[in-house]
Amino acid sequence: MIGAVSWYESSARERLRLLLDPLSFREFVGPEQREVSPHLNVFNLPQQFDDGMIVGRGRLDGAAVFVAAQEGRFMGGSLGEVHGAKLTGLLRAARDVRTTPVVILFDTGGVRLQEANAGELAIAEVMRALLEARTAGAPVIGLIGGRAGCYGGGGLIAGCCSALAVSEQGRISVSGPEVIETNRGVEEFDSKDRALVWRTMGGKHRRLLGGADSFVADTPESFRAAACRLMHLAPRFDAEMLRAEQRRLAERLRRFGGCSDAFDIWTMEGVANAFDVPNLCTDDFITLADSVREPRYDAR
Amino acid sequence: METLSYRLTAARPAAGSKPLAIIGVVASGNLEVLVERVGAPTECQIEVRTVAEGFGAVWAAVIGDFVMRRSAGGLKLSINDGGARPDTVALRLAQAVRLIEDDER
């Protein structure tokens, strides 16, 4: 599409501007406050004024929302101490307000290794705050379609969300391709095989497996429409829902545990020609996914 | 890391009323520019933190050219640089002024 704005190519600030109602965004702890990482200067690395995390409030189709966006081009969107604290604070605000939805624009490779334990702790704090916000009644929606994908601790945080929307370019996983190859060998996973990476971690696979609730085109309009829809569809969050989720995951493992490639899973899911899936355009894929996806158990 | 500070007499004051704007990201070959409405309308302050040490003369040339050509009066520009080339720096500086002058964005 010539002239269309790409979510993948946009910066975190551009994504927020295009996602929200015009001129509705108000930033919390903005770049002018210069809350930069206290760790990066130790390594002689440059800081960014917002530490790669933009948080604030705005309006989506007229409704008040809290928003957070990661900048995937600054240190791979990695979660450091300040980066994580800003998201934790936003989620605690949502917990206290109780009903205002939170929309998180993920774009991260996971924990910032230079910040080590502070970064790992930040991820744990974010997950706790996210679950407290959901318990209080605030839906938390994740949007995934950035350059860095959503990996490591970011993948764990995404797994805690009420619902996820993903584009074909989005990838969701915990260990990234290079990490798996380094630890398990190239025979286990060839990180240079881009087709393998995309059909194992990419948006289409996540949608067909039921990990992502919505598959969208790589445009701000598509992500906006998905966020508006998912805000109102978020499942409740209680022990019964978690038991249903556990049953669903056990069933998934039972059915697909023996598969060695995503093609096998898609075939077992009822896709007539699994090898065609990577080449399907967005609309054709959505039609296919709607016809074959796993049954929904009011859980992700 | 190297920190460089400049304080120049501006050709023209910046238009608009927005208190601040930010453009760019800190990545290899890229930089971010935070621009704030600070100081006298005849003056432009620029503070640079860069990973590429020893390029003070090039920064001085790019910044001198920018302050002469653009309406940078009454602005303070704070830069975090990941080793951008001079043309990228000039582009980001121009974008920063355009953004703070545009009250619609």
Dihedral angle of Cα A110, A115, A116, A117, to the nearest 10 degrees: -110
Closest to A69 (Cα-Cα) out of A29, A123, A107: A107
B50 part of contact set with chain A, CB < 8 Å: yes
**Interatomic CA distance for residues A288 and A280, integer angstroms:** 9
Nearest to A49 among B19, B80, B81 (CB): B80
Nearest to A48 among B1, B32, B104 (CB): B32
pLDDT one digit per residue (tens) for chain A, 300 residues: 556 899 999 999 999 999 999 999 999 999 999 999 999 999 999 999 999 999 999 999 999 999 999 999 999 999 999 999 999 999 999 999 999 999 999 999 999 999 989 999 999 999 999 999 999 999 999 999 999 999 999 999 999 999 999 999 999 999 999 999 999 999 999 999 999 999 999 999 999 988 899 999 999 999 999 999 999 988 889 999 899 889 989 999 999 999 999 999 999 988 999 999 999 999 999 999 988 866 565 555
Chain B nearest CA to A43, separation (Å): 10
- Residue B8: helix, strand or coil by DSSP? strand
Mutate to test the interface with A, among B25, B34, B37 (most CBs of A within 10 A): B25
Contacts of A113 (CB under 8 A, 6+ apart): A78, A119
Closest chain B residue to the Cα of A71, Cα to Cα: B25
**Interatomic CA distance for residues A256 and A266, integer angstroms:** 10
Residues in chain B within 8 Å Cβ distance of A11: 25
pLDDT band for position B19 (cuts 50, 70, 90) = very high
Closest chain B residue to the Cα of A76, Cα to Cα: B27
The kind and range of the H/E element at B4 are strand B2-9
B99 part of contact set with chain A, CB < 8 Å: no
Chain B nearest CA to A76, separation (Å): 9
Closest to A266 (Cα-Cα) out of A243, A239, A235, A289: A289
Phi then psi for A11, rounded to 5 degrees? -80, 170
Please judge whether A46 and B49 are an interchain contact, meaning their C-beta atoms are less than 8 angstroms apart. Answer: yes
**Interatomic CA distance for residues B102 and A35, integer angstroms:** 26
Q: Tell me the pTM.
A: 0.96
Question: Letter for the amino acid at A68?
Answer: A
Contacts of B72 (CB under 8 A, 6+ apart): B10, B11, B12, B14, B44, B66, B97
What's domain A12-172+211-237's architecture? Answer: Alpha-Beta Complex (3.90)
Mutate to test the interface with A, among B32, B35, B48 (most CBs of A within 10 A): B32
Give Cα A231 distance to the centre of its chain: 15
**Interatomic CA distance for residues B79 and A268, integer angstroms:** 54
The sign of the CA dihedral A111, A114, A116, A119 is negative
What does DSSP say about strands A102-106 and A214-216: parallel, antiparallel, or unpaired?
unpaired
Length of chain A: 300
CB atoms closer than 10 angstroms to residue A61 = 13
Nearest to A32 among B1, B32, B34 (CB): B34
pLDDT digits (tens, 9 = 90+) for B83-105: 999 999 999 999 999 999 998 77
Residues in chain B within 8 Å Cβ distance of A17: 105
A97 and A263 in contact (C-beta within 8 Å)?
A: no
- pLDDT for B17 equals 93
Kindly provide the ipTM of the predicted complex, given to two decimals. Answer: 0.95
Chain A nearest CA to B28, separation (Å): 9
Closest to A231 (Cα-Cα) out of A162, A179, A181, A155: A162
- Sheet containing strand B20-24, strands side by side: B2-9, B43-50, B75-81, B31-37, B20-24
- pLDDT for A296 equals 62
**Interatomic CA distance for residues B75 and B87, integer angstroms:** 21
A vs B: CB pairs below 8 A: 45
Closest chain B residue to the Cα of A70, Cα to Cα: B25
Residues in chain B within 8 Å Cβ distance of A46: 1, 26, 49-51, 80-82
Contacts of A223 (CB under 8 A, 6+ apart): A7, A15, A19, A143, A145, A165, A167, A216
The DSSP line for A138-206 is --EEEEE-STT-B-THHHHHHHHSSEEEEETT-BB-SS-HHHHHHHH-TTT--TT-HHHHHHHHBHHHH
Please judge whether B80 and A31 are an interchain contact, meaning their C-beta atoms are less than 8 angstroms apart. Answer: no
